[in-house]
Amino acid sequence: MPIRRLPPEAVNRIAAGEVIERPAAAVKELVENALDAGAKRVAIRVERGGLGLISIEDDGGGISRDELPLAVERHATSKLAAGAGGDVDLLNIHTMGFRGEALPSIGAVARLSITSKARGAGDAWAIDVEGGQLHPVKPAAWAALTEGGTRVEVRDLFFATPARLKFMKSERAEMMAISDVVKRLAMARPDVAFSLEHDNRTSLRLAAESDPENEGRRARLSAILGADFAPNCISLDQTRDTVRLSGFAGLPTFHRGTREHQHLFVNGRPVKDKLIVGAVRAAYQDLLARDRHPVAALFIDLPPDEVDVNVHPAKTEVRFRDAALVRGLIVGGLSHALASAGHRASTTTAQSALGAARAYETPQPFLRPAAQAWAAAEERLAGDFMRPSGRVEEGGPSFGEAIAPADLEAAIQSAPAPDAEDARFFPLGAARAQIHETYIVAQTEDGIVIVDQHAAHERLVYERMKQMLANGGVRRQGLLIPEVVELDPSEAEAIAARAEELAQLGLVVEAFGPGAILVRETPALLGHVDAAGMLKDLADDIAELGDAHALKERLEEVCSSMACRGSVRAGRRLTADEMNSLLRQMEATPFSGQCNHGRPTYVELKLADIEKLFGRR
């Protein structure tokens, strides 16, 4: 069969399949065009999940009459400037779009109408494209335009490629994808006002923020990620070489069941990259349960020539020139910010506790004489009303004796308890009672704190163990017969190249010919080790994340287990000094707001909220 050129219509429809695979992709491309045009207001209107209508209206610079035909021509763009020799620098991109494919791709598979008024021009003009067929430019009446702007309407998406319609999901699913795209773009640009309507119902309305770098960004993120995000996040601002990391990350006790609430923006562009998955996992690895995920919005700013955004037609993937530096910055920045949070825990924990609290009402199946009612009330108050099973004692075993392993005897130093009245002004207050020999009740200046003694002590012991490991290194045990592990040659080479780093973690290896690694020593904490399985896991980590994450995780899991066994148990009575010592240690220890499994160690209830429960406010 002879080679022949495909007709332009077929070429455009094939290319459209890469760029516009669903309505959300069309919305993304059109909103990005509006942002590149300098818009400060973007209004999106959608019908039937985007398959019936997509309308994007902005107040940007607009398109002149002469440029409207060029706007719908493939690979025609105003966003890439040619150099002296006519070459275009694809590694120096400052705009969201640059490929010149979106409008012609949409016009090839839908009914596209563009109405625009260039800033400073007197009249508005329009152009229509229907299934790839271009119509002449015509005058347009648009009273809404005063300075300039553009309205793009896409009707009957994929009518020219009906086979594609069979692969669309429900209208609700397509609308959710559109909403997700708009929210990501809105998070990246808090200085722009956004609105989104679906079938004449407003689903999103965001005003422009005056301070897009700091509080304005926090307010925009809170409006999208939920009102609980602002009081339960910590700010980041770290710079390494020419790369800057900023944004906000949730406290460890403020988490979700999926990674969908983790967002990465590179030079203002929302991207999905496995880099953030591995980096965030590493930063939160011993602060959350394995099936929980933190909430984060991270912004990476770096010179355009340090990142390649021309990786995929959809522009949702990027490639960093120095990925290890970016990953290290994310891990280090998050770890530093989390450590600065100290013992702080999320407010959602207290809100859940207050939500579960209810005024106690006595069921009255029938009327009884007043005397019997009073007697019943007295009996109930004496027997059924929140009676603590433990009490504050002055004697008993010392706090340090609660640690079981011999080499952890110094893990918690019992601080002398301050005066009870003075202790109220500490963040976690002064211990007043022990409830059910499990929970410590402390009084603060403006409320009460309830502490899970086992969970809190577990975190303190664990942090002490990590410090001991960092200071003294990981103890190693030599194998009587060194084990040879066969790997893929590239994996073996990667393992051997990191032999020094692995030795610091207690694993001593060396190259043993092509495709083989000799294991001489393993971490003593791990006991009997499946060397082959461990090296394969390490090879996968190094290939994917550039770090020996699996070994660190195993060591930390063992430390966590030892800390759990060595912590003060629920059911053990503590003295007043022991309880206050625990509170003071929590205040001085990073990450003490959650245990090693990600559960909160304490709940703080403000006096004002408690008073509302009793109708005092």
pLDDT at residue 559 greater than cutoff 70: no
Q: Is residue 283 part of a domain?
A: yes
What is the C-alpha separation between 558 and 573, in angstroms, rounded? 27
Question: Residue 262's closest CA among 283, 241, 237?
Answer: 283
Same domain, 396 and 511: yes
pLDDT at residue 572 in the model: 79
What does DSSP assign to residue 381? Answer: H
What is the C-alpha separation between 329 and 237, in angstroms, rounded? 10
Same domain, 232 and 202: no
Handedness of CA 395, 396, 397, 403 (dihedral sign): negative
pLDDT at residue 371 in the model: 42
Same domain, 455 and 531: yes
Tokens of 605: 């209830």
- Residue 156 binned pLDDT confidence (cut-offs 50, 70, 90): very high
What is the C-alpha separation between 531 and 551, in angstroms, rounded? 11
What is the C-alpha separation between 546 and 540, in angstroms, rounded? 9
Same domain, 522 and 414: yes
pLDDT at residue 556 in the model: 66
What is the C-alpha separation between 219 and 205, in angstroms, rounded? 13
- Domain, as residue range, for 27: 8-81+91-206
Q: Is residue 443 part of a domain?
A: yes
- Of 174, 206, 238, the residue that ends a domain is 206
Number of domains in the chain: 3
Q: Is residue 542 part of a domain?
A: yes
CATH number where 224 lies? 3.30.230.10
The pLDDT of 534-548, averaged and rounded, is 71
340-398 pLDDT, tens digit per residue, is 876 666 566 656 665 655 544 444 444 344 444 434 444 443 333 333 333 333 433 33
Same domain, 142 and 285: no
Yes or no: say if 519 and 509 are a contact pair by the CB < 8 Å rule: yes
Same domain, 201 and 221: no
Residue 485: other Cβ atoms inside 10 A = 22
What is the C-alpha separation between 130 and 110, in angstroms, rounded? 6
Identify any residues that bridge with 308 across adjacent strands, giving them in sequence order. 319
Q: Is residue 367 part of a domain?
A: no
pLDDT at residue 567 greater than cutoff 80: no
CATH number where 582 lies? 3.30.1370.100
- Of 341, 373, 396, the residue that ends a domain is 341
pLDDT at residue 347 in the model: 62
- Of 180, 206, 232, the residue that ends a domain is 206
Same domain, 461 and 607: yes
| DSSP H helices in 87-203 | 102-109, 162-165, 171-188
Q: Is residue 375 part of a domain?
A: no
The pLDDT of 19-31, averaged and rounded, is 90
